[in-house]
Structure 1
Amino acid sequence: MEVQLGHLGNSFVGLVDDSNNGNKCLPDLISYSTIISGLCKAGRLDEAKKKFMEMMGKNLHPDSVIYDTFIHSFCKQGRIASAFRVLKDMEKKGCNKSIQTYNSLILGLGSKKQIFEIYGLMNEMKERGVPPDVCTYNNMMNCLCDVERVKDATSLLDEMLQKGISPNISTFSILIKAFCKSCDFGVAQEVFDIALSVCGHKESLYSLMFNELLAGGEVSKATELFEEASEVFLSGELPL
């Protein structure tokens, strides 16, 4: 049976024909947001900016999600000045800073070791009633450990626990690595024990502690930990 494609072909052409304005499928804000997000994740910020300008030219106004995407990408690349320029435009357009905005800015400032500015953002969050989450604390702790202010980072862990914010494996990894780097293996062991009680007996925690002890020349302690881990996981009483 011969199939006639003439009418179907004409209909398809109508969907993409610029002269047929009634049938065109025009991109909306969600479409642009998706494309911009993909370009930013791929590190193609210049192309993302072109799509942003194209969107603005079509009288589509960006929302906080699009602004946050740019801010996060610029901060991740260490382009803090660009991130704050986006932030300025974001606030000018009436979009409020979210927890994602603050987390990105803290991450970016941390990469530049701008501790004073980070504490300023933390205070601003409190004033605006934006509660920090585990990502906020992790970014802050990572920055403090990078500048060898490990005690201050530990105080943040206490603050998290007091506020009922559950630390995750990344939280404890930051502290364990920092204490092992400064050869405070006893304190690192204490943090490791707390991590096991909070996160459970995870293989990743044992692996982290073992590798840090080994790298620090604590071969006997690393061996003891390996034997302990073997007993825990081979017993089958706890999940890997």
Structure 2
Amino acid sequence: MPKHALLFFHWSSQYKQHQHSLKSYCTVVQILVRANLLIDAQALLESAVSKNPNPGSSIKLVSETLLSTYESSAADPRVFDVLVQTCLKLRFLDQAFDSCCYFGDHGITLSLLSFNRMLHVAQRSNRSNLAWKVYEKMLENRVYPNQASVETMVNLLCKEGSLQRMLGLSDRIHGKRCAPVVLVNMALVLWMFEEDRIEQGFILLRRMLQKNLILDDIMSSLIIFAYCKTGQFDDAKTAYDEMRNRGCGSNVFVYTCFIRARADMGLIEEALRLFDEMHSIGLKLYDETYNCLIESCAKAGRLEESLAFYEEMKREGLVLSFSTFSEIVGILCDNGEVEKADEIFTALSDTGFVPDEAIYCHLINGFGRIDKAQKCISLYHEMQFRGLDIGPHVYAALVRSLSQCGKLKEAEKFMKKMEEKSVVLCQTGQCFSPMR
């Protein structure tokens, strides 16, 4: 009977020149899916989508019509999976996800197979952000990952370069390696927190815990991280107390969150007290803890303590981060510690650190203040050797520093180069004024 319906549909179209409506297409698709003729149903949906001059935009209309014909008949919910999988086959990934959300809003949840296919296509298409949205929607709809889902998301973490970060985070919180699904779920929640979707992240974390998709200490630590990130220190402290009452031990990640929160509020003494407390209970500090303290002390004008933390960090075999050095290099140079800044810069360069123009400007200005003209010129040649684009700001720093050192001929040479660079930028609509 379903086959007869399909034959009649095609016959009336070919021999009677009947123009079928979208509702007719969707009605026949419903009949075919109910009869388990999924390949025929998919072929008919492809035809319905492709009839429109803009197939991508027609999928929304197909979704709406499919839903209306579903509600008016005793149809099979697999029809919605067939549509989403048809979209994926036609490479309409965004439309497949939009349809998934549309059906979800109407109380219809896709199968795990459909979610896995969306994840796979998004990952293979380098659509990282969309893959995380699909994975979040999957958990939100209470469709829980299987091995295929987790393998796809682990591959995504590898592509993003985030897997090592998640492994390190699990070590710092839990003290040992966790199952891949836990790493993936940690990454999802952190991604949500980075987008400031804190409450949604909390809801998902608690749902994950109920399904053993995350560990209690990791869930609590991520909640504390979110509270600290948003400046809710009292809530973070309450969450920490609850965590301890449930038998979870202290960990270095949580302490680092507290230290950063206090430092960001300008409470350096409180941050240092927490640092001493970490030491006293035997927690081993990691690079993020030191980076936070080095940066915070430097910003507060406590350069001696900042440099002392840097030396301690070096002894522990840890490396200063690019972002921290970028923050403190100007402070060091402005306070006469340019040689120390240069020493740190050299040590970082040996680890593959690639400086930017702003860092070179700070160093050139710093060496100009202590009358080391040759060092300024050496930094310029170093930029050339590295193949870095030397912009007008660098030339302005060289002119200013060499003039301070009394090297007026050299300053004039760089002034000409700066003028040439400015002319080029003005011709491309990016005018530069060294007086800015």
What TM-score range do you get, normalising by the shorter chain? 0.7 to 0.9
Classify 1:33/1:10 alpha carbon distance in 2 versus 1 (closer, same or farther; 3 Å).
farther
Classify 1:203/1:62 alpha carbon distance in 2 versus 1 (closer, same or farther; 3 Å).
closer
Q: Mean Cα displacement is larger for which, 70-79 or 171-180?
A: 171-180
Q: For residue 192 of structure 1, what is the aligned residue in structure 2? A: 342
Percent identical among aligned pairs is 17
Contact 1:68 1:100 in 2 (8 A): yes
Q: Structure 1, residues 154-189: CA drift from partner, whole Å, max 9, x if none?
A: 01111122233333434543442221233x1xx223
Contact 2:287 2:318 in 1 (8 A): yes
In the alignment, residue 362 of structure 2 is paired with which amino acid? E
2:120 is the counterpart of 1:92: no
Residue number among 207, 216, 226 corresponding to 1:73 in the alignment: 226
Larger Rg: 2
Q: Which of 1 and 2 has higher RCO (CA within 8 Å, sep 6+)?
A: 1
Distance 2:328 2:185 in 1: 40
Q: For residue 266 of structure 2, what is the aligned residue in structure 1? A: 113
Q: For residue 205 of structure 1, what is the aligned residue in structure 2? A: 355
2:194 is the counterpart of 1:41: yes
Q: How many equivalent residue pairs?
A: 223
Contact 1:99 1:132 in 2 (8 A): yes
Gaps of 5+ in 1: 19-23, 235-240
Alignment of structure 1 residues 31-180 onto 2, 5 Å: 36-51=189-204, 63-180=216-333
Distance 1:157 1:94 in 2: 34
* TM-score, normalised via structure 1 length: 0.72
Classify 1:167/1:91 alpha carbon distance in 2 versus 1 (closer, same or farther; 3 Å).
same
Residue number among 224, 227, 230 corresponding to 2:381 in the alignment: 227
Contact 1:172 1:192 in 2 (8 A): no
In the alignment, residue 345 of structure 2 is paired with which amino acid? A
Q: How far 1:93 moved relative to its partner? A: 1.7
Contact 2:322 2:353 in 1 (8 A): no
Q: Mean Cα displacement is larger for which, 117-126 or 43-52?
A: 43-52
Classify 1:204/1:55 alpha carbon distance in 2 versus 1 (closer, same or farther; 3 Å).
closer
Gaps of 5+ in 2: 7-28, 37-74, 82-106, 110-140, 146-180, 388-436
Distance 2:226 2:108 in 1: 36
Q: How far 1:69 moved relative to its partner? A: 1.8
Classify 1:126/1:7 alpha carbon distance in 2 versus 1 (closer, same or farther; 3 Å).
farther
Alignment of structure 1 residues 11-50 onto 2, 5 Å: 12=78, 27=144, 36-50=189-203
Contact 1:192 1:209 in 2 (8 A): no
Q: How far 1:214 moved relative to its partner? A: 6.1
In the alignment, residue 189 of structure 1 is paired with which amino acid? E
Distance 2:247 2:269 in 1: 26
* TM-score, normalised via structure 2 length: 0.43
